Amino acid sequence: MKTPADTGFAFPDWAYKPESSPGSRQIQLWHFILELLRKEEYQGVIAWQGDYGEFVIKDPDEVARLWGVRKCKPQMNYDKLSRALRYYYNKRILHKTKGKRFTYKFNFNKLVLVNYPFIDVGLAGEVGQRP
């Protein structure tokens, strides 16, 4: 199973933000997914796969449960979580990988532009400060 580090890519520091305290409503779902992907203990639940930025949710019910715990919403289920993920499609932050169940891919270039408009993303994917 390839991780971004195995491919020679490292996610930029801006993609990760310090973990919010449990119950914090300040975290967005895409940040939460990155948190899970970074922790080895959740590799059986969610893991990097395939192309750079692509991940698979191996246990959708558990990911939904963990998201519910973080957001203090005990009624969270995968249907509700997937609806939230679809919200990111229109923003082009995330998209579903066609033909692969529970598989999504981050668009990190879009995330830079949305969250850090002052950062320049070169054609080669290099991230730097705009002059």
- Domain assignment of residue 57, yes or no: yes
**Residue ranges making up the domain that contains 63:** 26-111
CATH of the domain at 68: 1.10.10.10
Residue 9 has a pLDDT of 45
Instruction: Give the pTM.
Output: 0.69
Q: What is the pLDDT of residues 72-103, one digit of tens each?
A: 999 999 999 999 999 999 888 899 999 999 99
Q: Is the pLDDT of residue 40 over 50?
A: yes
Total structural domains in the chain? 1
- Domain assignment of residue 58, yes or no: yes
- Domain assignment of residue 13, yes or no: no
CA distance 56 to 58: 6
| Average predicted confidence (pLDDT) for the chain | 77
E-assigned strand segments in 1-131: 46-48, 54-57, 94-96, 103-106, 119-121, 127-129
- Domain assignment of residue 2, yes or no: no
- Domain assignment of residue 117, yes or no: no
Residue 19 has a pLDDT of 53
Residue 109 has a pLDDT of 76
- Domain assignment of residue 103, yes or no: yes
- Domain assignment of residue 100, yes or no: yes
